[in-house]
Chains A and B, each alone.
Chain A
Amino acid sequence: MHKTRAIKDRLFTLYILTTSTLALIPVLHLIFVIVIRGFDSFVEGGIKFLTDVPPTPLSTELGGIGPSLLGTLILTATSLPITILIAFFAAVLANEFPNNPISKTVDIISRSFTSIPTIVVSMTVYLLVVVPMRTYSAIASSIALTIIALPYAYAITSAAIRQVPLMYREAAYSLGMTRWTTIYKVVVPITRRMLSGCVLITMARIMGETAALMFTAGRFRTGISLQLDRPIDAIPLLIFDYALTPYPILHKVAWGAALLLIIIYFIIFLAVKTIVKEVKL
């Protein structure tokens, strides 16, 4: 009897390991393909791949993805902080006042909006921002990205704050801390690992979003633009446009761009994971 239990246990462990690996294989394969195909572009382009303008079908040189890279960085730098701040603020409030009708509404809305089709957001922001401004812009793109990223950020932050055990709050109150000091000095620091995870997930979402930029960004690829009220480009948009053409040189650039996006994200991911230490409850 004891033996069959042990065997069953081993079999089940094996089953879990196998299915988990199978689930991971598509992702690993994807990363593998991007690395193989994108690596060529890096080698051929060198450091200029990060600064030059993209090639055209008749180009002989590989060029680079300078404008798109800068655009992605600018858009991330503008949407990410705003998204995190709003989501954080809303999550804290919803947690402190759970019975408030506003908190309940925010909860319901954010849950339904996590699966909103992003092209719809793009069209809406187009009508609300691009048409009145009469131009594509980085602002319109940031707004679209923020709208799409907010429900995720809110859901994760809200879950993180909710799972802080009540007893730490009570301890803080018993010491004489006000509601907000408690949040700032006790609740938030305890969730720092989850919050940093939230920031990473939101950042991934923003950096990789394509449909949101379709009608809002403007695809400014001839040079560098730092103006927020003018057209801008982004790496996923470049990849999308170039992948749909039949020209090999444009495909090469697209693969290189995809690899670059993964590398940038991976670096930031590693940095955050090592710096923010786990809080052992």
Chain B
Amino acid sequence: MVNNKVIAITAIAVVVIAVVTGVITLQTRTTQPTATITQTITQTVTQTVTRTVTQSPQTVTVTVTTTLTPTTPSTPSIRGLTLNGAGATFPYPQIMEWIKKFYNRTGASINYQPVGSGAGLSQFFQNVTDFACSDPPLKRSDWEKYRGNVMQVPFIVGAVVVVYNIPELPTGYNLKLSGEVIAKIYKGEIRFWDDDAIKMLNSDVANRLPRKEIIGVYRSDSSGTTEVFTTYLNKAAPNIWGKDLVGKTVDWPIAKVGRGVGGSGNPGVTQAVQATPYSIGYVEWSFAITNKLQMAMVSNKDGNYLLPSEASLKDALRMINMPKSPLDDFSHTLEEVVYAPGPNTYPITSPSYIIMWRTYTAKEKALALSEFLKWLAIDGYRDVVPGYVAPPEEVIKLLTTASDILRQ
């Protein structure tokens, strides 16, 4: 027998919970983040006073004309404001540095969600975040949709490194591997470390190369790093590594012959390479540096063998047909930066893009973002985290341009 009292109490409880939730949600929608924007404006005021005295004592007409001339441009305060961003995990460590320095300088907070380029972009387009960070730039079709309203700048540069674990070789030594050789290794066609192809490129250690099977480590999860790496392999050796093997997830041929190991995330691949003697893998440069992995010098388009460095990464960026304005289309730049021509370009360079709107309904967001970009251009690249490189000067200009556009 169901007591009426019970039904009443349940109904009341449900209603109370619903009302409370509703009130809180409404409350948050109507209260916008308030911040005080103080501007000091110096005005020159001219007053013209005309008096008409009549017999009736009440009528006095006073005309005042004022002309305002702002003299010094203002430095508005953005203390207490928050910017939310989401996107690639790759630039997260550098963004962490920027967040802290920017907060110490201005009191404005930035929250960044390292959830991946794809998720970052959708959250940006859903207006949950104020900016996104993506390893690949906006596709042409996406850019067309928001044309004139969306801005992009490749604001930090990283690289993918080929690493290996050969105990016989000294740690300071960097094995030379061409794109073609690496492609053949991951295709399963080069089986041993003492293969002639590898010996030919490394004559000084040729007799130290062991006759051991090469274990190929790859990313088991969906990864932008894989995409960049396989793009390089395809460009360096299109006849060996076809377009069908390019992408965020790949059907690795070396796994099919039983010499492949999957690692989850950059940490996973790092651990796999460290734990598996005679293995080869690919990771973000920051992981190779901090874990002191053996790095390979890879061949670029001009045929030179290089390690990533500030100079070689910047040179790769300079090879891009860089758009003149952040409002332009950047979709071609990824193709251009990987395996770019030039004697000193690192062939597996990977820039990350910041993506933002041209205008924001909340004026203080535009202001905060503008200040951030301005600060980046001036101070942001003073201390760069190991594994990351500042973009070249033409890109810094783009940052300043974006900052100005936001202020309009």
Contacts and interface: CB of A to CB of B under 8 A. Distances in A.
Interface string A35-64: 000000000000000000100111100000
Contacts of B333: none
Nearest to B29: A133
Contact of A57 (B89, B96, B128, B291): B96
Nearest to B288: A246
Interface in B96-131: 96-97, 99-100, 103, 109-115, 119, 123, 126-128
Interface in B251-274: 265-267, 270
B115 A246 contact: no
A134 interface: yes
B3 A132 contact: no
Contacts of A135: 28, 84, 128
Interface range on chain B (Cβ under 8 Å from partner):
35 or more
Interface string A247-264: 110100000000000000
Contacts of A126: 128
Interface in A157-185: 179
Given A56-B100, A137-B28, A246 B267 contact: yes
A220 B109 contact: yes
Interface string B23-45: 01101110100000000000000
Given A58-B385, A97-B2, A246 B127 contact: no
B290 A248 contact: yes
A54 B103 CA distance: 13
Given A57-B96, A218-B111, A246 B270 contact: yes
A131 B233 CA distance: 40
Nearest to A231: B111
Interface string A196-234: 000000000000000000110011111100001111000
A222 B99 contact: yes
A218 B113 contact: yes
A179 to B, nearest CB: 7
B403 to A, nearest CB: 21
A21 interface: no
Interface range on chain A (Cβ under 8 Å from partner):
35 or more
Contacts of A219: 111-113
B135 to A, nearest CB: 15
A246 B84 contact: no
A132 B3 CA distance: 39
B9 to A, nearest CB: 9
B371 to A, nearest CB: 15
Interface in B367-408: 383, 385-387
A222 B109 contact: yes
B267 A231 contact: no
Given A135-B84, A244-B89, A179 B3 contact: yes
B119 A215 contact: yes
B267 A223 contact: no
Nearest to B100: A56
A121 interface: no
A231 B92 contact: no
A229 B109 CA distance: 16
B10 interface: yes
B220 to A, nearest CB: 15
B311 interface: no
A130 B82 CA distance: 16
B323 interface: no
Nearest to B10: A93
Contact of A220 (B6, B27, B82, B286): B82
Nearest to B96: A56
A222 B103 contact: yes
A241 B114 CA distance: 8
A131 B126 contact: yes
Contacts of A241: 92, 114
A117 B398 CA distance: 42
B13 interface: yes
Contacts of B110: 222
B192 interface: no
A126 B31 CA distance: 20
A187 interface: no
Given A56-B97, A58-B97, A245 B383 contact: no
A220 to B, nearest CB: 5
Contacts of B6: 93, 96-97
A58 B383 contact: yes
Contact of B84 (A57, A218, A222, A245): A218
Interface in A113-139: 126, 129-137, 139
Contact of B287 (A137, A231, A246, A248): A246
B247 interface: no
A247 B291 CA distance: 9
A243 interface: yes
Given A133-B25, A221-B111, A248-B290, 8 more contacts: A58-B383, A89-B13, A93-B6, A132-B25, A133-B28, A179-B3, A214-B115, A244-B114
Question: Which are the 3 A-B pairs with shortest beta-carbon distances?
Answer: A229-B28, A246-B290, A222-B109
